[in-house]
Structure 1
Amino acid sequence: MVLRSILLFLAAAVCEIGGAWLVWQGVRENRGLLWIGGGVVALGVYGFVATLQPDAHFGRILAAYGGVFVAGSLGWGMVADGYRPDRYDVLGALLCLAGVAVIMYAPRTG
Protein backbone atom coordinates (compact mmCIF):
# COMPACT_ATOMS: atom_id res chain seq x y z
CA MET A 1 0.00 0.00 0.00
CA VAL A 2 2.80 2.46 0.81
CA LEU A 3 4.57 1.76 -2.50
CA ARG A 4 1.31 2.26 -4.41
CA SER A 5 0.71 5.52 -2.56
CA ILE A 6 4.23 6.79 -3.32
CA LEU A 7 3.89 5.90 -7.01
CA LEU A 8 0.56 7.74 -7.14
CA PHE A 9 2.13 10.80 -5.53
CA LEU A 10 4.88 10.71 -8.17
CA ALA A 11 2.34 10.37 -10.99
CA ALA A 12 0.31 13.24 -9.54
CA ALA A 13 3.45 15.37 -9.34
CA VAL A 14 4.29 14.76 -12.98
CA CYS A 15 0.74 15.67 -14.02
CA GLU A 16 0.37 18.78 -11.89
CA ILE A 17 3.88 20.18 -12.11
CA GLY A 18 4.17 19.21 -15.77
CA GLY A 19 0.79 20.74 -16.51
CA ALA A 20 1.66 23.98 -14.77
CA TRP A 21 5.02 24.04 -16.57
CA LEU A 22 3.31 23.56 -19.96
CA VAL A 23 0.92 26.45 -19.25
CA TRP A 24 3.90 28.57 -18.12
CA GLN A 25 5.75 27.74 -21.32
CA GLY A 26 2.69 28.50 -23.45
CA VAL A 27 2.04 31.87 -21.81
CA ARG A 28 5.36 33.17 -20.49
CA GLU A 29 7.58 31.75 -23.21
CA ASN A 30 5.06 32.35 -26.03
CA ARG A 31 4.95 28.72 -27.12
CA GLY A 32 1.27 28.87 -27.98
CA LEU A 33 -2.10 27.35 -27.37
CA LEU A 34 -1.04 23.71 -27.86
CA TRP A 35 1.31 23.99 -24.89
CA ILE A 36 -1.40 25.66 -22.83
CA GLY A 37 -3.97 23.06 -23.86
CA GLY A 38 -1.61 20.22 -23.00
CA GLY A 39 -1.05 21.80 -19.62
CA VAL A 40 -4.76 22.10 -18.94
CA VAL A 41 -5.27 18.43 -19.84
CA ALA A 42 -2.38 17.34 -17.60
CA LEU A 43 -3.79 19.39 -14.72
CA GLY A 44 -7.16 17.69 -15.22
CA VAL A 45 -5.52 14.26 -15.17
CA TYR A 46 -3.84 15.23 -11.89
CA GLY A 47 -7.27 15.65 -10.32
CA PHE A 48 -8.16 12.08 -11.21
CA VAL A 49 -4.82 10.59 -10.15
CA ALA A 50 -5.23 12.08 -6.68
CA THR A 51 -8.51 10.17 -6.23
CA LEU A 52 -6.68 6.84 -6.62
CA GLN A 53 -4.81 7.17 -3.31
CA PRO A 54 -5.72 4.33 -0.91
CA ASP A 55 -6.51 6.80 1.91
CA ALA A 56 -10.06 8.12 1.65
CA HIS A 57 -9.48 11.53 3.28
CA PHE A 58 -9.33 14.38 0.77
CA GLY A 59 -7.71 16.82 3.19
CA ARG A 60 -4.98 14.37 4.18
CA ILE A 61 -4.15 13.49 0.57
CA LEU A 62 -3.98 17.10 -0.59
CA ALA A 63 -2.02 18.24 2.47
CA ALA A 64 0.54 15.49 1.94
CA TYR A 65 0.65 16.18 -1.78
CA GLY A 66 1.62 19.76 -0.95
CA GLY A 67 4.94 18.44 0.37
CA VAL A 68 5.44 16.28 -2.69
CA PHE A 69 4.68 19.31 -4.86
CA VAL A 70 7.34 21.41 -3.13
CA ALA A 71 10.08 18.81 -3.60
CA GLY A 72 8.89 17.86 -7.08
CA SER A 73 8.81 21.47 -8.24
CA LEU A 74 12.44 21.94 -7.29
CA GLY A 75 13.36 18.73 -9.08
CA TRP A 76 11.37 19.72 -12.17
CA GLY A 77 13.07 23.11 -12.22
CA MET A 78 16.47 21.41 -12.08
CA VAL A 79 15.69 19.09 -14.99
CA ALA A 80 13.58 21.34 -17.21
CA ASP A 81 15.01 24.79 -16.54
CA GLY A 82 18.52 24.24 -15.19
CA TYR A 83 17.55 25.62 -11.77
CA ARG A 84 20.16 25.06 -9.05
CA PRO A 85 18.55 24.83 -5.60
CA ASP A 86 20.58 26.11 -2.69
CA ARG A 87 20.94 24.30 0.62
CA TYR A 88 17.87 26.03 2.02
CA ASP A 89 15.75 24.87 -0.91
CA VAL A 90 16.98 21.32 -0.31
CA LEU A 91 16.42 21.56 3.45
CA GLY A 92 12.92 22.93 2.92
CA ALA A 93 12.07 20.15 0.47
CA LEU A 94 13.35 17.49 2.89
CA LEU A 95 11.28 18.99 5.69
CA CYS A 96 8.23 18.90 3.43
CA LEU A 97 8.85 15.26 2.55
CA ALA A 98 9.23 14.43 6.24
CA GLY A 99 5.83 16.05 6.72
CA VAL A 100 4.42 13.87 3.95
CA ALA A 101 5.73 10.76 5.69
CA VAL A 102 4.14 11.77 8.99
CA ILE A 103 0.82 12.76 7.44
CA MET A 104 0.46 9.70 5.23
CA TYR A 105 2.33 6.84 6.84
CA ALA A 106 2.34 7.36 10.61
CA PRO A 107 0.64 4.46 12.40
CA ARG A 108 -2.93 5.26 13.31
CA THR A 109 -5.40 3.47 15.50
CA GLY A 110 -9.03 2.99 14.67
Structure 2
Amino acid sequence: MISNEEFEEIYNLIPGEPEFELWFDEDGPTYMIIKYADCVTFQRCGNGPHGSGEFEYPSLDALLGADLIDELNLRRDWSRIQGIIASDSWLLNDPNDLQHLKQHHHRN
Protein backbone atom coordinates (compact mmCIF):
# COMPACT_ATOMS: atom_id res chain seq x y z
CA MET A 1 0.00 0.00 0.00
CA ILE A 2 1.19 3.53 -0.64
CA SER A 3 2.15 5.72 2.29
CA ASN A 4 -0.05 8.64 3.30
CA GLU A 5 2.73 10.94 2.08
CA GLU A 6 2.53 9.34 -1.39
CA PHE A 7 -1.24 9.67 -1.25
CA GLU A 8 -0.92 13.39 -0.46
CA GLU A 9 1.37 13.75 -3.49
CA ILE A 10 -1.21 12.04 -5.74
CA TYR A 11 -4.05 14.06 -4.18
CA ASN A 12 -2.22 17.31 -4.99
CA LEU A 13 -1.17 16.12 -8.45
CA ILE A 14 -4.65 15.34 -9.82
CA PRO A 15 -6.54 18.47 -10.93
CA GLY A 16 -10.26 19.10 -10.68
CA GLU A 17 -12.44 17.17 -8.25
CA PRO A 18 -10.98 13.67 -8.10
CA GLU A 19 -12.60 10.99 -5.99
CA PHE A 20 -10.60 8.47 -3.99
CA GLU A 21 -12.45 5.32 -2.95
CA LEU A 22 -10.84 3.33 -0.14
CA TRP A 23 -11.58 0.26 1.93
CA PHE A 24 -10.20 -1.50 4.95
CA ASP A 25 -11.38 -5.04 4.25
CA GLU A 26 -13.15 -6.94 1.47
CA ASP A 27 -16.46 -7.29 3.31
CA GLY A 28 -16.61 -3.90 5.02
CA PRO A 29 -17.84 -0.54 3.82
CA THR A 30 -16.03 1.59 1.31
CA TYR A 31 -15.27 5.25 1.89
CA MET A 32 -14.77 8.21 -0.42
CA ILE A 33 -12.46 11.21 -0.21
CA ILE A 34 -13.41 13.97 -2.65
CA LYS A 35 -11.12 16.89 -3.39
CA TYR A 36 -12.81 20.24 -4.03
CA ALA A 37 -11.24 23.62 -4.77
CA ASP A 38 -11.99 24.95 -1.28
CA CYS A 39 -12.29 21.82 0.90
CA VAL A 40 -12.16 18.04 1.02
CA THR A 41 -14.94 15.66 2.04
CA PHE A 42 -15.10 12.17 3.51
CA GLN A 43 -18.04 9.79 3.49
CA ARG A 44 -19.07 6.17 3.86
CA CYS A 45 -20.35 5.01 0.48
CA GLY A 46 -23.78 3.51 0.00
CA ASN A 47 -27.42 4.36 -0.40
CA GLY A 48 -29.96 4.88 2.36
CA PRO A 49 -28.81 4.00 5.86
CA HIS A 50 -25.51 2.54 4.62
CA GLY A 51 -24.17 5.84 3.28
CA SER A 52 -23.18 8.65 5.59
CA GLY A 53 -23.34 11.78 3.46
CA GLU A 54 -20.32 14.02 3.05
CA PHE A 55 -18.41 15.48 5.98
CA GLU A 56 -16.40 18.56 5.02
CA TYR A 57 -12.86 19.41 6.13
CA PRO A 58 -10.84 22.54 5.26
CA SER A 59 -7.81 20.57 3.98
CA LEU A 60 -6.50 17.08 3.39
CA ASP A 61 -4.24 17.45 6.42
CA ALA A 62 -7.26 18.27 8.61
CA LEU A 63 -9.16 15.26 7.26
CA LEU A 64 -6.22 12.89 7.77
CA GLY A 65 -5.89 13.91 11.42
CA ALA A 66 -9.61 13.98 12.25
CA ASP A 67 -11.64 11.38 14.10
CA LEU A 68 -14.05 10.23 11.39
CA ILE A 69 -17.19 8.15 11.11
CA ASP A 70 -16.95 4.49 12.12
CA GLU A 71 -14.24 5.43 14.63
CA LEU A 72 -11.66 5.90 11.86
CA ASN A 73 -8.68 8.19 11.95
CA LEU A 74 -6.75 7.98 8.69
CA ARG A 75 -3.38 8.94 10.17
CA ARG A 76 -3.72 6.27 12.83
CA ASP A 77 -5.42 3.65 10.61
CA TRP A 78 -3.53 4.22 7.33
CA SER A 79 -1.72 0.87 7.52
CA ARG A 80 -5.09 -0.93 7.67
CA ILE A 81 -6.22 0.39 4.26
CA GLN A 82 -6.43 -2.48 1.77
CA GLY A 83 -6.87 -0.42 -1.38
CA ILE A 84 -7.47 3.03 -2.85
CA ILE A 85 -8.87 3.72 -6.30
CA ALA A 86 -8.29 7.21 -7.72
CA SER A 87 -10.96 8.63 -10.02
CA ASP A 88 -12.39 5.18 -10.83
CA SER A 89 -9.24 4.49 -12.84
CA TRP A 90 -6.08 3.81 -10.87
CA LEU A 91 -5.57 1.33 -8.04
CA LEU A 92 -3.00 3.16 -5.92
CA ASN A 93 -1.60 0.02 -4.33
CA ASP A 94 -0.72 -1.32 -7.82
CA PRO A 95 2.77 -0.01 -8.75
CA ASN A 96 1.93 0.00 -12.48
CA ASP A 97 -1.28 1.99 -11.99
CA LEU A 98 0.54 4.41 -9.70
CA GLN A 99 3.28 4.96 -12.28
CA HIS A 100 0.73 5.49 -15.09
CA LEU A 101 -1.23 7.98 -12.99
CA LYS A 102 1.90 10.02 -12.25
CA GLN A 103 2.98 9.97 -15.89
CA HIS A 104 -0.49 10.97 -17.07
CA HIS A 105 -0.79 13.95 -14.74
CA HIS A 106 2.79 15.18 -15.09
CA ARG A 107 2.14 15.47 -18.82
CA ASN A 108 -1.01 17.58 -18.44
Task: Give TM-score, length-normalised by structure 1.
Answer: 0.26
Higher CA-based Rg: 1
Structure number having the greater helix percentage: 1
Structure number having the greater strand percentage: 2
